[in-house]
Amino acid sequence: MAQGVVVGILGLGTVGSGVIRILTGHQQELQHQTGCPISAKKILVRDKTKPRDLNIENLTLTENAEDILHDSEIDVIIEVMGGIEESHHYILQSLRSGKHVVTANKDVMALHGTELLREAEENGCYLLYEASVAGGIPVIRGITEGLASDRISQMMGIVNGTTNYILTKMAQEERDYEEVLAEAQELGFAESDPTSDVEGLDAARKIAILARLGFSMNVELADVEVKGITNVTTEDMEYCEQLGYTLKLIGLAKRTDERVELTVQPMLLPNDHPLASVQDEYNAVYVHGEAVGETMFYGPGAGSLPTATAIVSDLVAVVKNIRLGTGGNSNSRPLHSKALQANEEVESKYFIRLHVKDQTGTFDDLSSLFKEEDVGFDKLLQWPLEDENDPKSEVVIVTHLTNRAAYERIYKELENMDVVLDVKSSYRVEGGQVS
């Protein structure tokens, strides 16, 4: 039998346990794929005495990472401990010690990915991170290998299962955000502190990673415009349904004339758009290449075994390359200099919901404002609101295509107009036009 590959694992939580289960339960398939046995040797844990529902009889548990990082028998480090600074340090140390690394850490890769990939290249090591984006969906490998010959112009997706679960339930069951969030926390779909998910930060990290790969451009997390879902209301959902749209938290990376736009925000998608049908905690990434056209990657975005599957798939790729005697990551240096689109270059439609005074001339004032910026109305809804002492109406507008700079000027003026009582909500509209 060919000489085996030995693995050290940093972390034995939900995902780490899934990795062990796959390594032990799928050993025959893994040997068939790689031509050699793969075995875990040591695992870093916080408490060795903690009872575990896992067969770890032949493994060494340690509370000291150095026991793994400096073990000369260990060929590959799998990092599934989470966090940023400590994990970044361990990955860096592993690479400098000549050990290949597989990680699921989106935070580290979003913040330090360029540095770590360069370190991997300089030390002849592989650093793979498929599980850092969309869990078990092979979107990174799809972009870097399956679409390697194409030129990607756009990636947009639902890359956070927590927010998709919340928005799905709000739309389907007409329930408020806070109520559905509490349910998601009870079911384990949302953390006790859900800030990273609901404010769009988790999705922004993943979009930064995808954009860096798909556009071969050294974009950073700070380049992503971020807006979360905490202000989404059931009223917004009802209007979306009436107008033929579905509201989703979308991560978007778009390239136009060598300049890119990166954003994460709630967006309205036509009901016939492929992403509109992605429900509950599922993820999907929609990729457009100049040659291949439209493709979509869909599946569970989190969970022990789906994420562990992506990690072990990366491990298999590393083992195959070890046996072939090839070097480490060879495309760590970006091909293009970073160039971000200005607000005047970012084009989209917009949905806006207003409360206005129900009086003669109100609509004329609104129309004049939009006309000044050369922005037309694609759709318009208006209803009177019951208030005997203060007659008012609710107005919902979907604009024609315009640029972000013009829309921001309109929005600012609306907030200051005498006839506008309140700007209730505003969302971007993407993905084509509803007929």
Q: What is the pLDDT of residues 70-109, one digit of tens each?
A: 999 999 999 999 899 999 999 999 999 999 999 999 999 9
Please give the CATH topology (third level) of the domain spanning 5-135+304-324.
Rossmann fold (3.40.50)
DSSP helix/strand/coil, 136? coil
Give the DSSP per-residue string, 184-252: HHHHTSS-SS-HHHHTTHHHHHHHHHHHHHHTTB---GGGSEE--STT--HHHHHHHHHHTEEEEEEEE
Q: Within 10 A of 313 (CB to CB), how many other CB atoms are there?
A: 19
With contact defined as beta carbons under 8 Å apart, do 429 and 353 qualify? Answer: no
Q: Are 111 and 224 in contact (CB under 8 A)?
A: no
Q: Is pLDDT above 70 for 434? A: no
Asked whether the beta carbons of 329 and 121 are under 8 A apart, the reply is yes
Q: Which DSSP letter does residue 276 get? A: G
More confident residue, 147 or 390: 147
**Among 51, 66, 60, 49, which residue's Cα sits nearest to residue 20?**
60
> Is residue 23 within 8 Å of 30, Cβ to Cβ?
yes
Domain boundaries, the chain: 5-135+304-324, 139-300, 345-429
Q: Name 226's Cβ contacts closer than 8 Å, sequence gap at least 6.
A: 199, 200, 201, 203, 204, 263, 264, 265
Asked if pLDDT for residue 1 goes beyond 60, the answer is: no
| 106 burial via Cβ count (<10 Å: 0-12, 13-18, 19+) | buried
Task: Report DSSP letters for 346-371, one per residue.
Answer: -EEEEEEEEEEE-STTHHHHHHHHHH
**What three-state secondary structure class fits 73?**
coil
Question: Is domain 139-300 classified as CATH 3.40.630.10?
Answer: no
Two structure tokens written together for 9: 């694992």
- Residue 24: is it exposed, middle or buried by C-beta count within 10 angstroms (0-12/13-18/19+)? middle
Please tell me the total number of residues recorded for the chain in this structure: 435
Instruction: Give the tens place of pLDDT for each residue, 179-191.
Output: 999 999 998 888 8
Structural class in CATH, domain 345-429 = alpha beta
Q: Please confirm, yes or no, whether 206 is among the known catalytic residues.
A: yes
Mean pLDDT of 204-229: 95
Name the band, by pLDDT with cuts 50, 70 and 90, for residue 332: low
Looking at residue 331, its pLDDT comes to 60
Predicted confidence (pLDDT) at residue 2 exceeds the cutoff of 60 = no
Q: In the prediction, which pLDDT does 433 show?
A: 44
Residues 14-24 have pLDDT tens digits of: 899 999 999 99
How far, in Å, CA of 299 to CA of 315, rounded? Answer: 20
Q: What is the pLDDT of residue 357?
A: 92
Average pLDDT, the chain: 92
pLDDT higher than threshold 80 for residue 389:
no
Which of 206, 227, 254, 392 is catalytic? The answer is 206
